């Protein structure tokens, strides 16, 4: 039976006023009944346009049909055949530009809520796994041997070959997962004190609960993947030294976490920071919890510059940290804004003030060096630029000052050159990232790379896709 409703079934959400004061997850997720009802909106299109819009080609109509039948386990098996981190992707993928952007239902109403269904199915599966593990723990005689065999049940027989993964973001975790499933002994080196990359330090708890990321890491650990945290490759040890130490191949998934600034006057004033630093202090270093000593900007009036996911996350965190007024300052209009539609919608609901078609020209400060305002100019849109978006042009004489005491820059990030500079003869691509072929192989034998470190800032699913490609190439290379 097909559900003829034109709109998506809504997800239960915290009230905007309540949630703007806490870091708990905003959306509650579908119940089984809601998921089945939503899945029945699918038209089972023969040409599967939604699957073509998915960077890892999840077999969407097939999994959605299983949800409609109430067979959630089979739906999970279909999704996880191509997507290693569905609980994460169901929450953070820009579905409106990917699968849902191609959904036929979208032509005369809202597309099928594919992301919400992916989230439901993978959360359901995780809950079953947790229950089963608890039941097994409760029922066994808790002698050491049976407990050990339960803990070891995910272990894969080793093929004795060692691979190093540098960077524990979605690219590195996916590569490590695929290689360990094939029997490789994988060690992941991560420069921060916790694995997860942007999933841990960037995306806030209210969008992606950190226990989901921790559960993915723990799955890999159970399978035998080793994690070495606080290891900055290129400083503590180089990629070449890893190869000399007995790793037969190295995957570099170090991301693109170096923040960009605008180079405008006043950017060195007290109260200006990058969104990456702000979010890292809040998320990874738990700056929002009173029992942690992490120092975080505590301003009352904040301007966040930029219109991407990073800007939305910083603005919504600022609200939750107690700011009374939070502006998003973006130089184009709502039609060009690059953040996920859901994050923009949530930010507006939470009272973030969008200053569109405005561009900062200077940060204003007092005699003690503290920020007192952000001078901006109004913009209008001209002809499309190289990115295809209409180029913003400043309106002469339209300058005005936003009254703020903190400015957070979220205008993009660049690649940190450390690996390129410390790995002998490793070539860059024309975007300044690590150069690779379509199989993620660099110009150096045994060295592979993928994710933001190659493409520049992109998306979780693309980074995972690159990690998958690299794992297949490494397997082929070492199998020769
Ligand atoms: C705040 C924020 C919000 C975002 N929101 C979304 C979203 O909603 N949806 C979406 O699809 N994408 C989003 N993105 C983009 C997405 O998170 C990235 O494209 C993705 O994480 C890239 O994955 P990666 O594995 O290539 O790199 P990263 O996730 O950056 O991971 C790289 C890891 O390598 C480590 N590392 C770096 N250098 C070294 C070194 N020398 N030695 C050892 N380790 C090193 C880093 O500490 C990091 O842990 C967001 C990004 C940010 C910053
Ligand atoms: S395009 Fe939309 S309606 Fe068609 S199969 Fe995919 S999810 Fe179902």
Query: Which atom of ligand 1 is found nearest the CA of 171?
Result: 25
Residue 11 lies in a domain: no
pLDDT at res. 4: 77
Q: What DSSP string runs through 265-324?
A: TTTTSBTEEEHHHHHHHHHTT-TTSTTS-------SEEEEE--SHHHHHHHHHHHHTT-S
In-domain check, residue 103: yes
* pLDDT value of position 48: 96
| CATH number of the domain where residue 101 is located | 1.10.1060.10
Mutation test of ligand 1: which of 205, 252, 255, 279 has the most ligand atoms closer than 8 Å to its C-beta?
255
Q: Which ligand is nearest to the CA of 105?
A: 2
Q: Which residues line ligand 2 (CB under 6 A)?
A: 42-45, 48-50, 60-61, 64, 103-105, 111-112, 114
Q: Which helix (H) or strand (E) holds 473?
A: helix 460-479
- The model carries a pTM of 0.92
Reported as type and span, the H/E element at residue 454 is helix 452-455
Pair 287, 395 in one domain: yes
Q: Is the pLDDT of residue 467 over 80?
A: yes
What pLDDT is recorded for position 66? 98
Residue 112 · residue 64 · CB < 8 Å: yes
Alpha carbon of 6 to ligand 1 centroid (Å) = 36
Instruction: Find the 95 Cα to ligand 2 centroid distance in Å.
Output: 13
Asked if residue 456 lies in contact with residue 431, where contact means CB atoms within 8 angstroms, the answer is: yes
In the reported structure, the alpha carbon of residue 254 is separated from the centroid of ligand 1 by a whole-number distance in angstroms of: 8
pLDDT at residue 6 greater than cutoff 90: no
Whose alpha carbon is nearest atom 49 of ligand 1?
Answer: 197
The residue among 128, 143, 167 that closes a domain is 128
Confidence of residue 145 (pLDDT cuts 50, 70, 90): low
Same domain, 321 and 395: yes
* Tokens coding 239: 């990629």
Can you give the pLDDT at residue 128? 94
In angstroms, what is the span from residue 145 Cα to ligand 1's centroid?
39
Pocket test for ligand 1, best of 254, 283, 409 (most atoms within 8 A of CB): 254
pLDDT mean over 113-127: 97
Angle, vertex CA 18, rays to CA 15 and CA 24, nearest 5: 90
Q: Do the domain assignments include residue 315?
A: yes
Do 233 and 373 belong to one domain?
A: no
- Of 287, 341, 339, the closest CA to residue 313 belongs to 339
Closest residue by CA, ligand 2 atom 4: 45
Mean pLDDT of 82-108: 94
For the chain, give the percent of residues with pLDDT over 70: 96
Instruction: With CA atoms as reference, report the closest residue to 350 among 388, 373, 389, 323.
Output: 323
pLDDT at 189 over 80: yes
Which of 23-32, 152-161, 176-185, 448-457 shows the lowest per-residue confidence on average (mean pLDDT)? 152-161
137 within a domain of the structure (yes/no): no
> What's the domain count of the chain?
3
Indicate whether 156 pLDDT > 90: no
Domain end point (choices 361, 385, 413): 413
Q: What is the pLDDT of residue 447?
A: 98
pLDDT of 204-249, one tens digit each?
Answer: 999 999 999 999 999 999 989 999 999 999 999 999 999 999 999 9
**Cα separation of 333 and 142, whole Å?**
61
CA atoms within 13 A on the CB side of 68: 19
Question: 33 and 117: one domain?
Answer: yes
Residues 227 and 300 in one domain: no
pLDDT number for residue 165? 98
Residues 250 and 264 in one domain: no
- pLDDT tens digit sequence for 347-399: 999 999 999 999 999 999 999 999 999 999 999 998 888 878 788 999 999 99
Terminal-to-terminal C-alpha distance of the chain: 51
Q: Which of the four pLDDT bands, split at 50, 70 and 90, describes residue 151? A: low
| Mean pLDDT calculated for residue range 159-174 | 96
Tell me whether residue 2 is in a domain.
no
pLDDT bin (cut points 50, 70, 90) of residue 405 is: very high
> Residue 149 falls within a domain, yes or no?
no
Residue 163 lies in a domain: yes
Q: Which residues contact 101 (CB under 8 A, 6 or more apart)?
A: 53, 95, 111
pLDDT at 301: 97
Q: If you average pLDDT over every residue of the chain, what do you get?
A: 93
Q: At 393, give phi and psi (nearest 5°).
A: -125, 135
Confidence tier at 143 by pLDDT (50, 70, 90)? low
Where residue 367 sits, what CATH number does that domain have? Answer: 3.50.50.60
- 320 in the same domain as 244: no
CA dist., res. 120 & res. 95, Å (int): 15
Output the residue whose Cα is nearest ligand 2's atom 2. 103
CA dihedral 308, 309, 311, 316 (to 10 degrees): 150
Tell me: do 249 and 280 sit in the same domain. Answer: no
Ligand 2: atom nearest CA of 44 is 5
Q: How far is the CA of 91 from the centre of ligand 2 (A)?
A: 19
Res 71: pLDDT: 98
Could you tell me the distance, in angstroms and rounded to a whole number, from the CA of residue 398 to the centre of ligand 1? 37
**Candidate from 65-69, 142-146, 338-342 with smallest mean pLDDT:** 142-146
Q: What is the pLDDT of residues 246-294, one digit of tens each?
A: 999 999 999 999 999 999 999 999 999 999 999 999 988 887 887 888 8
Q: How confident is the model at residue 155 (pLDDT cuts 50, 70, 90)?
A: low
Per-residue pLDDT tens for 14-58? 999 999 999 999 999 999 999 999 999 999 999 999 999 999 999
Residue 152 has pLDDT above 70, yes or no: no
Instruction: Evaluate whether 84 touches 90 at the Cβ level (below 8 Å).
Output: no
CA 164-170-176 angle, 5° bins: 30
In testing the pocket of ligand 1, which one of 173, 197, 417 has its CB within 8 Å of the most ligand atoms? 197
Is residue 141 predicted with pLDDT exceeding 90?
no
In a domain, 312, yes or no: yes
Q: Is the pLDDT of residue 445 over 90?
A: yes
pLDDT digits 0-9 by tens, 323-350: 999 999 999 999 999 999 999 999 999 9
Distances (CA, A) of 226 to 84, 180, 244, 378: 18, 10, 19, 52
Give the distance (Å) from ligand 1 centre to CA of residue 364. 32
Q: For a pocket test of ligand 2, which of 60, 63, 102, 116 has the largest count of ligand atoms closer than 8 A to its C-beta?
A: 60
Same-domain status, 273 and 395: yes
pLDDT band at 2 (very low <50, low <70, confident <90, very high): confident
Res 185 pLDDT > 60? yes
Rounded Cα distance between 274 and 284, Å, is 15
**Residue ending a domain, choose from 387, 413, 439:** 413
Strand 447-449 versus strand 272-274 pairing type: unpaired
CA-proximal residue: ligand 1, atom 33 (nearest): 167
Confidence check: pLDDT of 146 > 70: no
Are β-strands 390-394 and 358-365 bridged in parallel, bridged antiparallel, or unpaired? Answer: unpaired
What domain range includes position 354?
Answer: 260-413
Ligand 1 pocket: which residues have CB below 6 Å? Answer: 92-94, 166-172, 189-192, 197-198, 202-203, 231-234, 253-255, 257, 279, 309-310, 313, 340, 416, 418-419, 451-453, 457-461, 463
Res. 142: pLDDT tops 70:
no
| Residue 247 and residue 200 share a domain | yes
* Tokens (6 digits) for 195: 């694995």
Instruction: Tell whether 220 and 94 lie within a shared domain.
Output: no
36 and 167, same domain (yes or no):
no
């Amino acid at each position: 039976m097909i559900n003829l409703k034109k709109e998506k079934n809504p997800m239960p959400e915290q009230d905007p006023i309540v949630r703007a004061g806490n870091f708990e997850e905003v959306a509650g997720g579908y119940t089984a009944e809601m998921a089945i009802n939503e899945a029945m909106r699918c038209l089972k299109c023969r040409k599967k346009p939604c699957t073509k819009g998915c960077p890892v080609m999840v077999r969407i109509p097939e999994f959605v049909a299983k949800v409609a039948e109430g067979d959630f386990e089979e739906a999970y098996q279909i999704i996880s055949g191509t997507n290693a981190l569905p609980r994460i992707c169901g929450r953070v993928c820009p579905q409106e530009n990917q699968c849902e952007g191609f959904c036929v239902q979208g032509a005369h109403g809202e597309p099928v809520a594919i992301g919400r269904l992916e989230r439901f199915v993978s959360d359901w599966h995780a809950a079953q796994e947790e229950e089963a593990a608890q039941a097994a723990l409760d029922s066994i005689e808790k002698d050491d041997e049976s407990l050990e065999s339960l803990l070891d049940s995910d272990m894969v027989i080793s093929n004795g070959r060692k691979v190093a993964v540098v960077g524990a973001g979605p690219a590195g975790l996916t590569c490590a997962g695929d290689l360990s499933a094939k029997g490789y002994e994988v060690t992941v080196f991560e420069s921060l004190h916790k694995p997860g990359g942007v999933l841990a330090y960037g995306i806030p708890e209210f969008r992606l609960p950190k226990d989901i990321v921790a559960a993915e890491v723990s799955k890999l650990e159970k399978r035998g993947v080793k994690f070495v945290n606080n290891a900055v490759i290129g400083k503590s040890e180089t990629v070449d030294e890893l190869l000399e130490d007995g790793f037969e191949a190295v995957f570099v998934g170090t991301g693109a976490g170096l923040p960009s600034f605008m180079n405008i006057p006043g950017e060195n004033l007290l109260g200006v920071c990058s969104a990456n630093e702000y979010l890292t202090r809040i998320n990874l270093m738990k700056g929002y919890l009173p029992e942690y000593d992490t120092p975080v900007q505590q301003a009352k009036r904040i301007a966040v510059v930029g219109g991407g996911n990073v800007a939305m996350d910083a603005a919504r965190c600022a609200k939750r940290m107690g700011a009374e007024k939070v502006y998003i300052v973006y130089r184009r209009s709502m039609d060009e804004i690059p953040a996920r539609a859901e994050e923009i919608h949530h930010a507006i609901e939470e009272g973030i003030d969008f200053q569109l078609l405005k561009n900062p020209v200077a940060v204003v400060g007092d005699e003690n060096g503290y920020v007192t305002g952000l001078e901006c100019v109004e913009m209008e849109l001209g002809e499309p630029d190289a990115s295809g978006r209409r180029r913003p042009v400043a309106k002469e004489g339209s300058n005005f000052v936003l009254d703020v005491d903190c400015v957070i820059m979220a205008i993009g990030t660049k690649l940190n050159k450390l690996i390129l500079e410390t790995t002998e003869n490793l070539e860059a691509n024309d975007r300044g990232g690590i150069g690779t072929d379509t199989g993620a192989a660099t110009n150096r034998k045994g060295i592979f790379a993928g994710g933001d470190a190659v493409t520049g800032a992109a998306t979780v699913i693309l980074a995972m896709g690159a990690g998958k490609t690299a794992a297949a190439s490494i397997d082929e290379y070492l199998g020769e």
